[in-house]
Protein backbone atom coordinates (compact mmCIF):
# COMPACT_ATOMS: atom_id res chain seq x y z
CA UNK A 1 0.00 0.00 0.00
CA UNK A 2 1.61 3.22 -1.22
CA UNK A 3 1.19 6.86 -0.27
CA UNK A 4 -0.56 7.67 -3.56
CA UNK A 5 -3.30 5.17 -2.66
CA UNK A 6 -4.02 6.96 0.63
CA UNK A 7 -4.50 10.53 -0.63
CA UNK A 8 -7.67 12.20 0.61
CA UNK A 9 -10.16 13.43 -1.98
CA UNK A 10 -11.77 15.77 0.53
CA UNK A 11 -9.29 17.84 2.52
CA UNK A 12 -7.97 20.83 0.52
CA UNK A 13 -4.63 22.60 0.69
CA UNK A 14 -4.38 26.26 1.65
CA UNK A 15 -3.25 29.01 -0.68
CA UNK A 16 -1.22 32.05 0.29
CA UNK A 17 -4.33 34.15 -0.42
CA UNK A 18 -6.29 32.32 2.30
CA UNK A 19 -6.40 33.95 5.70
CA UNK A 20 -5.48 32.44 9.04
CA UNK A 21 -9.17 32.42 9.94
CA UNK A 22 -9.93 30.49 6.75
CA UNK A 23 -7.30 27.96 7.78
CA UNK A 24 -8.76 27.56 11.27
CA UNK A 25 -12.22 27.04 9.79
CA UNK A 26 -10.95 24.30 7.49
CA UNK A 27 -9.07 22.67 10.35
CA UNK A 28 -12.24 22.63 12.43
CA UNK A 29 -14.31 21.21 9.59
CA UNK A 30 -11.86 18.40 8.86
CA UNK A 31 -10.73 17.95 12.47
CA UNK A 32 -7.02 18.34 11.81
CA UNK A 33 -4.32 20.51 13.38
CA UNK A 34 -2.17 20.93 10.27
CA UNK A 35 -2.77 21.99 6.68
CA UNK A 36 -0.32 22.40 3.78
CA UNK A 37 0.16 25.72 2.02
CA UNK A 38 0.57 25.29 -1.72
CA UNK A 39 1.44 27.82 -4.43
CA UNK A 40 0.14 26.31 -7.68
CA UNK A 41 1.86 22.90 -7.34
CA UNK A 42 4.70 24.04 -5.08
CA UNK A 43 4.50 22.75 -1.53
CA UNK A 44 5.51 25.62 0.77
CA UNK A 45 5.11 23.84 4.10
CA UNK A 46 2.68 22.89 6.85
CA UNK A 47 0.95 25.44 9.04
CA UNK A 48 -0.44 24.46 12.43
CA UNK A 49 -3.34 25.83 14.42
CA UNK A 50 -0.76 27.11 16.95
CA UNK A 51 1.01 29.03 14.17
CA UNK A 52 -2.26 30.76 13.30
CA UNK A 53 -3.13 31.62 16.89
CA UNK A 54 0.27 33.34 17.11
CA UNK A 55 -0.49 35.61 14.14
CA UNK A 56 -1.14 39.26 14.98
CA UNK A 57 -3.75 39.64 12.23
CA UNK A 58 -5.20 36.22 11.40
CA UNK A 59 -7.82 37.82 9.14
CA UNK A 60 -5.09 38.82 6.66
CA UNK A 61 -3.86 36.50 3.85
CA UNK A 62 -1.25 34.00 4.96
CA UNK A 63 1.09 35.36 2.30
CA UNK A 64 1.27 38.64 4.21
CA UNK A 65 2.92 36.95 7.19
CA UNK A 66 6.45 35.79 7.80
CA UNK A 67 5.83 32.12 8.55
CA UNK A 68 8.37 29.61 9.81
CA UNK A 69 6.83 26.52 8.21
CA UNK A 70 7.97 22.95 8.64
CA UNK A 71 8.12 20.94 5.42
CA UNK A 72 7.60 17.24 6.14
CA UNK A 73 6.35 15.11 3.26
CA UNK A 74 6.44 11.69 1.67
CA UNK A 75 6.82 10.81 -1.98
CA UNK A 76 3.88 9.22 -3.78
CA UNK A 77 5.63 5.84 -4.11
CA UNK A 78 6.63 5.41 -0.45
CA UNK A 79 5.11 2.56 1.54
CA UNK A 80 2.45 3.11 4.20
CA UNK A 81 5.02 2.16 6.85
CA UNK A 82 7.11 5.20 5.87
CA UNK A 83 4.01 7.39 6.11
CA UNK A 84 3.20 6.01 9.58
CA UNK A 85 6.78 6.55 10.75
CA UNK A 86 6.74 10.21 9.70
CA UNK A 87 3.27 10.88 11.12
CA UNK A 88 4.16 9.22 14.40
CA UNK A 89 7.58 10.85 14.81
CA UNK A 90 6.30 14.38 14.10
CA UNK A 91 2.78 13.87 15.48
CA UNK A 92 1.17 15.04 12.26
CA UNK A 93 -2.55 15.03 11.59
CA UNK A 94 -1.96 15.31 7.83
CA UNK A 95 0.96 14.15 5.69
CA UNK A 96 1.67 15.93 2.36
CA UNK A 97 2.37 13.71 -0.66
CA UNK A 98 4.71 14.89 -3.42
CA UNK A 99 5.59 13.65 -6.90
CA UNK A 100 9.18 12.86 -7.88
CA UNK A 101 9.64 16.45 -9.09
CA UNK A 102 8.23 17.63 -5.73
CA UNK A 103 4.93 18.81 -7.17
CA UNK A 104 2.21 18.67 -4.54
CA UNK A 105 -0.23 15.79 -5.15
CA UNK A 106 -2.41 15.86 -2.04
CA UNK A 107 -2.40 14.85 1.58
CA UNK A 108 -3.09 11.85 3.78
CA UNK A 109 -5.15 12.37 6.92
CA UNK A 110 -4.30 10.69 10.20
CA UNK A 111 -7.74 9.05 10.29
CA UNK A 112 -7.44 7.60 6.77
CA UNK A 113 -3.94 6.40 7.58
CA UNK A 114 -5.21 4.56 10.65
CA UNK A 115 -8.14 3.02 8.79
CA UNK A 116 -5.92 1.73 6.00
CA UNK A 117 -3.36 0.39 8.46
CA UNK A 118 -6.15 -1.45 10.28
CA UNK A 119 -7.08 -3.13 6.98
CA UNK A 120 -3.43 -3.97 6.36
CA UNK A 121 -3.07 -5.86 9.64
CA UNK A 122 -6.51 -7.54 9.33
CA UNK A 123 -8.03 -5.89 12.39
CA UNK A 124 -11.57 -6.40 11.12
CA UNK A 125 -11.10 -10.06 10.10
CA UNK A 126 -12.32 -12.53 12.76
CA UNK A 127 -9.57 -14.68 14.21
CA UNK A 128 -7.39 -15.37 17.20
CA UNK A 129 -4.26 -13.58 18.32
CA UNK A 130 -1.12 -15.16 19.75
CA UNK A 131 1.83 -13.35 21.28
CA UNK A 132 5.12 -15.23 21.56
CA UNK A 133 8.59 -14.33 22.76
CA UNK A 134 11.75 -15.64 21.10
CA UNK A 135 15.47 -14.85 21.38
CA UNK A 136 16.48 -12.48 18.59
CA UNK A 137 19.17 -14.89 17.35
CA UNK A 138 16.63 -17.72 17.10
CA UNK A 139 13.87 -15.93 15.18
CA UNK A 140 12.68 -17.71 12.04
CA UNK A 141 9.53 -16.53 10.33
CA UNK A 142 9.48 -19.58 8.06
CA UNK A 143 9.52 -21.95 11.04
CA UNK A 144 6.78 -20.05 12.87
CA UNK A 145 4.64 -19.99 9.73
CA UNK A 146 5.21 -23.70 9.14
CA UNK A 147 4.13 -24.60 12.68
CA UNK A 148 0.99 -22.54 12.27
CA UNK A 149 0.15 -23.85 8.80
CA UNK A 150 0.63 -27.44 9.97
CA UNK A 151 -2.45 -26.87 12.16
CA UNK A 152 -4.49 -25.84 9.09
CA UNK A 153 -4.26 -22.19 10.12
CA UNK A 154 -3.04 -19.14 8.21
CA UNK A 155 -1.16 -16.05 9.35
CA UNK A 156 -3.16 -12.90 8.55
CA UNK A 157 -0.61 -10.48 9.97
CA UNK A 158 2.54 -10.58 12.04
CA UNK A 159 4.58 -7.84 13.59
CA UNK A 160 7.73 -7.88 15.68
CA UNK A 161 8.96 -5.65 18.49
CA UNK A 162 12.35 -5.82 20.21
CA UNK A 163 12.61 -5.54 23.96
CA UNK A 164 14.68 -2.70 25.40
CA UNK A 165 17.86 -4.78 25.52
CA UNK A 166 17.33 -6.06 21.98
CA UNK A 167 17.83 -9.67 23.06
CA UNK A 168 14.21 -10.79 22.81
CA UNK A 169 11.58 -10.35 20.11
CA UNK A 170 7.94 -9.97 21.04
CA UNK A 171 5.90 -11.32 18.12
CA UNK A 172 2.16 -10.70 17.71
CA UNK A 173 0.38 -12.96 15.22
CA UNK A 174 -3.18 -12.54 13.92
CA UNK A 175 -4.65 -15.86 12.73
CA UNK A 176 -7.57 -16.77 10.48
CA UNK A 177 -9.30 -18.99 13.02
CA UNK A 178 -10.92 -18.27 16.36
CA UNK A 179 -10.17 -21.64 17.99
CA UNK A 180 -6.39 -21.38 18.26
CA UNK A 181 -5.90 -24.34 20.61
CA UNK A 182 -4.04 -26.41 17.95
CA UNK A 183 -1.65 -23.49 17.36
CA UNK A 184 -0.97 -23.10 21.08
CA UNK A 185 -0.27 -26.82 21.36
CA UNK A 186 2.13 -26.65 18.42
CA UNK A 187 4.06 -23.77 20.01
CA UNK A 188 4.18 -25.70 23.28
CA UNK A 189 5.58 -28.81 21.57
CA UNK A 190 8.41 -26.81 20.07
CA UNK A 191 9.15 -24.90 23.29
CA UNK A 192 8.00 -21.48 22.15
CA UNK A 193 7.14 -19.07 24.96
CA UNK A 194 3.54 -17.92 24.54
CA UNK A 195 3.10 -14.69 26.50
CA UNK A 196 -0.59 -14.12 25.65
CA UNK A 197 -3.39 -15.49 23.52
CA UNK A 198 -6.89 -14.34 22.63
CA UNK A 199 -9.26 -16.68 20.90
CA UNK A 200 -12.94 -16.14 21.62
CA UNK A 201 -14.71 -13.88 19.16
CA UNK A 202 -16.60 -12.14 21.95
CA UNK A 203 -13.40 -11.31 23.83
CA UNK A 204 -10.91 -10.76 21.02
CA UNK A 205 -12.51 -9.20 18.01
CA UNK A 206 -15.01 -7.18 20.03
CA UNK A 207 -12.23 -5.77 22.26
CA UNK A 208 -10.07 -4.96 19.24
CA UNK A 209 -13.04 -3.38 17.48
CA UNK A 210 -14.01 -1.37 20.58
CA UNK A 211 -10.46 -0.09 21.01
CA UNK A 212 -10.23 0.79 17.32
CA UNK A 213 -13.61 2.55 17.34
CA UNK A 214 -12.66 4.42 20.52
CA UNK A 215 -9.44 5.63 18.87
CA UNK A 216 -11.35 6.80 15.78
CA UNK A 217 -13.80 8.69 18.00
CA UNK A 218 -10.87 10.29 19.86
CA UNK A 219 -9.26 11.41 16.59
CA UNK A 220 -12.57 12.93 15.48
CA UNK A 221 -13.07 14.93 18.69
String of DSSP letters for 57-120:
-TTSBGGGS----B---EETTSBHHHHHHHHHHHT-SEEEEE-TT-BEEEEEEHHHHHHHHHHH
Question: pLDDT averaged over the chain?
Answer: 88
- Strand, helix or coil at 5? helix
Give, in words, the CATH class of 129-213: alpha beta
Query: What is the structure's pLDDT at 68?
Result: 76
Query: What is the structure's pLDDT at 98?
Result: 97
Mean pLDDT confidence for 132-155: 93
Of the pLDDT bands very low, low, confident and very high (cuts 50, 70, 90), residue 8 is very high
Q: Reply yes or no on whether the pLDDT at 212 is more than 80.
A: no
The sheet with strand 74-75 has its strands ordered as: 74-75, 94-98, 104-109
- Strand, helix or coil at 41? coil
106-134, pLDDT tens digit by residue? 999 998 998 888 888 777 788 899 999 99
18-58, pLDDT tens digit by residue? 999 999 999 999 999 999 999 989 999 999 999 888 888 88
Query: What is the structure's pLDDT at 202?
Result: 43
Yes or no: say if 153 and 186 are a contact pair by the CB < 8 Å rule. Answer: no
Instruction: Report the CATH superfamily, name and number, of domain 3-118.
Output: CBS-domain (3.10.580.10)
Query: What is the structure's pLDDT at 124?
Result: 79
47-90, pLDDT tens digit by residue? 999 988 888 888 889 888 888 788 999 999 999 999 999 999 99
Domain with CATH 3.10.580.10 in the chain: 3-118
Least confident of 58-67, 158-167, 211-220: 211-220
- Residue 164 has phi, psi (to 5 degrees) of -60, -35
Mean pLDDT confidence for 140-147: 93
Domain with CATH 3.30.2130.10 in the chain: 129-213
Amino acid sequence: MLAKDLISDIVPALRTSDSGLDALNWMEVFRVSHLPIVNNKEFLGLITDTDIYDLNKPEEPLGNHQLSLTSPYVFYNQHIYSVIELASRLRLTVIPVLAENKDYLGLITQTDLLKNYADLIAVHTPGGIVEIEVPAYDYSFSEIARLIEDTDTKVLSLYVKKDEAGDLLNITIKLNREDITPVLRAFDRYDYTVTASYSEHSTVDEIVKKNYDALIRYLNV
